[in-house]
Structure 1
């Protein structure tokens, strides 16, 4: 089973979390859907909750700081020096939405918007490395940026994290996998999403693996989720996109037993390739 107990390499999507209006309802939804268990961060964490799968951290929940904020899964990218990364964000045309801060002894972080307005986090590990279990049922397996401003977005992340890209699209589908600077491993994707509704922001989409996407989709709907993209078969797995009861959008995918050669590595263990997927 893919696990990791050390800090993730620079630029790797290493954590996802969700700001919500109702923590208890969120815990129930994901416990029923993915089998997650929970650990409270205590009073000094502001009510933050760590979700675990088989004893390893997989995601986080926290109360919204502003009730007007949308409910979204936030993708965090690993950094060895979040202060330096924050300076690169602003130099590349992005902005900091939260100051760089220490999160107790767990790590150091900021929330930013890239040069095309997509919101993401940057996490420098302390005692909390980020995702500890991945690429299996009920865990994170892929993060991808959906943007109208494809080339501008790619340039931004190249400037901040040193990313390069592998173009894998075709037939009008424009997509590239993200290659992290340290070793060239593919750790995420960028999709030129021409179907984004007018006025909708560019955004990072979180994908969770499931052993049976059909059963998971039925379960999600029973728990109050809404289907945004019906189940589809792709070279990267059988997939669907849903909206959770509090408005958060995420993908569900059954990973193929052997991904095609052009399929990307997901958040892989220190260069160990794992089958991944993109939409």
Structure 2
């Protein structure tokens, strides 16, 4: 599962681009109890979401022409330049060439061959989020694409991820693991086929103690329930939401391990 002991290919950071960062901060405060802290005057309006003193995500204004509000998942790499080049050779598009983020690290923005956007993070002074898998923090990431097999092949080439069939009879689903350690212990996400009306994207899941209660809080704060709260056998209870500006994310209360 997701941890803060980041290895190559693991999700290590996540941030939200929003047309109205102040209003977005208020929304996520209502849903998760997050507080927002500016990263400073030289960061173009970027800042950090924190919970119980730990940084869990980032927030900033939209910076790319024509961009829509969305969450971006960053994957750990020891060399952003080399990984960006490998991804491009495997069919990705580099939207933003690797660049230094002051002393925090080095990053690049990419779009995978099937259209899902993601980012690379080469840590410097900043390793990534400080909590994972606990209520209010990232617990899972999920890729929605038209061709899951092709997507799995792409990411195996770029990050050396391992894949496994979930065995879910109701829907094909591929489990993703990093390339290090025990495969099941290294699971961090999955790949699902696109549903009607969707476009390719990475969907972040945040852990919560009560999915139904947090769905109600999101709706009260002008969010939308894209998929209402429901149980997934052997997984837990989940829901998919959209914030007031259209950025989608999911809630999950996992079934405790046996």
TM tier, smaller: over 0.9
- CA distance in 2: counterparts of 1:84 and 1:66, whole angstroms: 23
- CA distance in 1: counterparts of 2:196 and 2:102, whole angstroms: 38
Please name the residue that 1:225 is paired with: 223
- CA distance in 1: counterparts of 2:153 and 2:164, whole angstroms: 14
- CA distance in 2: counterparts of 1:83 and 1:30, whole angstroms: 33
Please name the residue that 1:136 is paired with: 134
Moved >4 Å (runs of 4+): none
Report Cα offsets for 1:168-192 as digits up to 9, x if no partner.
1332511111121122321211112
- CA distance in 2: counterparts of 1:221 and 1:133, whole angstroms: 25
CA-CA distance at 1:3 after TM superposition: 7.0
SS in 1 for 2:83: helix
- CA distance in 2: counterparts of 1:249 and 1:81, whole angstroms: 29
- CA distance in 1: counterparts of 2:173 and 2:256, whole angstroms: 22
Please name the residue that 1:159 is paired with: 157
Report Cα offsets for 1:112-161 as digits up to 9, x if no partner.
01111110011111111111111111111100101111111111001100
SS in 2 for 1:87: helix
Bigger strand share: 2
Alignment length, in residue pairs? 253
1:76 aligns with 2:77: no
Please name the residue that 1:252 is paired with: 251
The gaps in structure 2 that reach 5 residues or longer are none
- CA distance in 2: counterparts of 1:148 and 1:35, whole angstroms: 35
Please name the residue that 1:9 is paired with: 7
1:36 aligns with 2:22: no
Please name the residue that 1:25 is paired with: 23
CA-CA distance at 1:66 after TM superposition: 3.9
CA contact (8 A) 1:176 1:190 kept: yes
- CA distance in 1: counterparts of 2:139 and 2:60, whole angstroms: 21
Mapping for residues 176-255 of structure 1, pairs under 5 Å: 176-183=174-181, 184=183, 185-193=186-194, 195-197=195-197, 200-234=198-232, 235-255=234-254
CA-CA distance at 1:39 after TM superposition: 1.8
Compute the RMSD of aligned alpha carbons.
Answer: 1.5
SS in 2 for 1:177: strand
My pick for the range that moved more, 91-100 or 67-76, is 67-76
Scaled by the length of structure 1, the TM-score of the pair is 0.87
- CA distance in 2: counterparts of 1:164 and 1:257, whole angstroms: 24
The gaps in structure 1 that reach 5 residues or longer are 260-279
Mapping for residues 165-176 of structure 1, pairs under 5 Å: 165-176=163-174
CA contact (8 A) 1:211 1:255 kept: no
CA contact (8 A) 1:21 1:67 kept: no
Please name the residue that 1:147 is paired with: 145
- CA distance in 2: counterparts of 1:106 and 1:171, whole angstroms: 44
- The partner residue of 2:51 within 23, 33, 53 is 53
- CA distance in 2: counterparts of 1:3 and 1:154, whole angstroms: 22
Scaled by the length of structure 2, the TM-score of the pair is 0.94
